Chains A and B, each alone.
Chain A
Amino acid sequence: MIGHTKSKTAAAVLGVLVLVALATGLAWAVDPSRLVNAEKDPNSWLSYNGTYHAWRYSSLGQINRSNVGNLKVAWIFQPGMPATEHGLEGTPLAVDGVVYVSGSYSRVWALDGATGKVLWFNYPKIDMQLKARQTHVPYNRGLAVGHGQVYVGTIDGRLLALDIKTGKQVWESQLVDSKKETVGFTGAPLVVKDLILIGSQAGEWPTRGRIFAVDSKTGKERWKFWTVGGPEDPKAQATWGGDSWKTGGGGGWTTGSYDPDLNLVYWGTGNPSPLYDWAGGDWMTKGPRPGVNLYITSIVALDADTGKLNWYFQELPHDPWDFDSSVGEMLLLERDGKKLLVHANKGGPVFVLDRTNGKVQNAYMGNRVFNFVKGVDPKTGKVIDPWYPTEGKVHPWFCPWIAGAYSWNSGAYNPKAGLWYKIVQEGCMDLEIVRTTPITEPYAQLNIGANFNFKGTPDGPAYGHLDAREPVTGALKWSVNYPVPPLGSLLATGGELVFLGDMEGRVHAHDAETGQDLWSFNNGSGHRGGIISYAVGGKQYVAVASGTGSLVADAYAGLYPERLGHYAYSAAVVVFTLP
């Protein structure tokens, strides 16, 4: 009884504090418990994938199927140059009426959620000398908020903490020696209790990618997890022949999920380096990195406090195709008393795991056009009859292409409909494998190991589709084709809508149950970033990150000259509401 009274009192005090925070318009009251309960807080959008279980679902229903046709633009924010470089790839956050946006070069803006007025901005100094040596940069894919701070990673290997009220930098933490490793951070951090987690780039760069946790107050590193096993993990190191672990790649540049009950963080790891492998079927003993190569192209479950590996599931052992696991979201679901994790691998297989132990519950292919495997075994989660490319000849019609079936953008899950929405790409390429040597001096540089030509599918031009599936069984409820594969993250809402930004400039609202395209608006540039919903003063808003860019978008420009011939980098946040 006493405990109950105490907790009631504590709740009341907390409630008053939150009310004070709201009344004074201070968007600082994001504490760990608020993040844990984010789904009960639909007026805000508190983390990259919305909530710890990565549903990208807003329960707000003011905008719904019956009135979505009335949506009007409330305001537009244009970051301008040079934040337009590689488009606007991030997902905005919204906290108590303030919208936070990140753009290229890790530029951050705080905007009034009702008017778009700039409240503050922070343009961090970026090592331009380093930038001139990089190939994929300088895009940024998002932010985290908590502990009165906004967190953003930089391409030169730092994590920054900004004061959420003023935008002033509180601390910076140099986590990666980017002068040597060349790459740094592009993905959104994740706040877990008093830690800020962020995964580094690596992948095709011959370095060893890792996932970091730093202290929210000081920025000091608390733990790191090596995605390429080395001396600290002899068992994992033994899965890399010779010294190949030193240049293995990996990394984890998308954002993980968190289960507070299990205190486990789930993170997808990147592809190995070199990207392709010339050893063909002999990869266990020959080629540039003999062995299964732990923990590349895996889902790792880490103790949130220590970073210690609890379990791992390697989606594609050895991965000689660049079909990594650092794509999309780690979708956390509860079904029949089981705690599940659903993840779509870049190559097309979707894995359903028991997230307490990593055991496979189901697996299915989510794409239509593939030949790198024949399928995936639903019982074991092992891909069936994988095809391994060999050196020295052109392999025509390799499917899917290097852009993958699933790209890094996140899907969305609607708990009322019980449906998971994902964008799928269908395209192939000619692939020629080339034996290469890793370049690590004077600094690391890409190690691709192949030439490739993007093509369509054997049946026609490359295309994309928005699929609605029951995520555990994989049963397809509906599917809508797009002539150019969309590349933005989705939003599902309590108004029974699914929002999607396409590559030709239009943002669409689909009916959550039928897929019917109910509304669209031309934002004037393709979409790479995320869509969120939030509310201010009882009014629901939908904020869309618009503005095309990126290497894959570059490829599309050549592949669809009639639709995208005018392609140019751009960036705008376009916010909609009802009149």
Chain B
Amino acid sequence: MGRPNHTRWLLGAVLALAATLAVPRDGQTQMGGTPAQGAQSQSQGAGAAPPFDLKDEAVVKQGATLFATTCSYCHKGHPGAGGAGVPTLRDQTYDKEYLYRMISDGPPSGRMPAWKYQYSAEQIWKLVAYILSLKHTEGQ
């Protein structure tokens, strides 16, 4: 869903950067038993290869559950969001590393949380897998 506002891009970038730098990179645990990798996952995340096949149906399904937990509220799948709204994430071509970085660090505008503080690298890759699957499921 739409989160434009290019006007505060610069300030947002500064704030997001400040917030990123300010967060202690201590170990974090996730409910459900999956440990967040902390600093390790953050530094290796986008550069590292995903730990599983992103087209694996089980992985996509797990990503779908995470998406419906925390992401669907803003990323409603309405058509035509275009540049005005929060990206619809459907029917678009994304690079997997770009998606990983965007979810992990949040956009420079600060309009989406940096999910690395909540989700492990593995969970973020699952979300990437789900989003990449969307263009194939559009219209079903």
Contacts and interface: CB of A to CB of B under 8 A. Distances in A.
A569 B69 contact: no
A432 B67 CA distance: 12
Interface string B11-34: 110011011101100001111100
A568 interface: yes
Contacts of B1: 551, 554-555, 557-558
Q: Which of A81, A132, A568 has the most CB of B within 10 A?
A: A132
Contacts of A295: none
Nearest to A432: B68
Interface string A437-459: 11111110111111111110000
Nearest to B83: A565
A506 interface: no
A275 to B, nearest CB: 8
A434 interface: yes
A135 B71 CA distance: 9
Given A133-B118, A558-B1, A565-B82, A446 B70 contact: yes
Contacts of B76: 402, 429, 451-454, 555
B69 A558 contact: no
A84 B118 contact: no
Contacts of B23: 129, 132
Contacts of A402: 76
Give me the 6 closest cross-chain CB pairs, A-B, nearest first: A434-B68, A558-B81, A557-B2, A558-B85, A557-B84, A132-B19
Contacts of A436: 65, 68-69
Contacts of B64: 434
Given A128-B19, A441-B31, 18 more contacts: A81-B7, A132-B16, A135-B70, A436-B68, A442-B29, A445-B118, A448-B68, A449-B69, A450-B68, A452-B76, A455-B78, A551-B74, A557-B2, A557-B81, A559-B78, A564-B84, A565-B84, A567-B4
Nearest to B64: A434
Contact of A442 (B28, B65, B70): B28
Contact of A129 (B22, B29, B78, B86): B22
Contacts of A569: 4-5, 7-8
A63 to B, nearest CB: 33
Interface residues of A, number: 53
Contacts of B7: 81, 84, 568-569
Interface of B: 1-8, 11-12, 15-16, 18-20, 22-23, 28-32, 36, 64-65, 67-70, 72-74, 76-86, 88, 106, 110, 112-114, 117-118
B8 A84 contact: yes
Nearest to A128: B19
Contact of B68 (A449, A551, A564): A449
Given A441-B28, A554-B1, A434 B82 contact: no
A467 interface: no
A554 B86 contact: yes
A65 B7 CA distance: 39
Contacts of A555: 1-2, 76, 78, 85
Nearest to B12: A82
A85 B79 CA distance: 24
Contacts of A134: 113
20 contacts: A81-B11, A82-B11, A128-B19, A129-B19, A132-B16, A133-B117, A133-B118, A134-B113, A135-B70, A437-B32, A439-B69, A445-B70, A447-B70, A451-B68, A451-B76, A452-B76, A453-B78, A566-B84, A567-B2, A567-B4
Interface string A382-419: 00000000000000000000100000000000000000
A435 interface: yes
Given A129-B22, A554-B86, A437 B69 contact: yes
Contacts of A455: 78
Contact of B8 (A85, A434, A442, A454): A85
Contacts of A128: 15, 18-19, 22
A131 to B, nearest CB: 7
Contact of A435 (B3, B65, B84): B65
Contact of A561 (B12, B19, B82): B82
Nearest to B110: A132
Contact of A551 (B11, B73, B80): B73
Contact of B69 (A132, A446, A454, A557): A446
Contacts of B84: 557-558, 561, 564-567
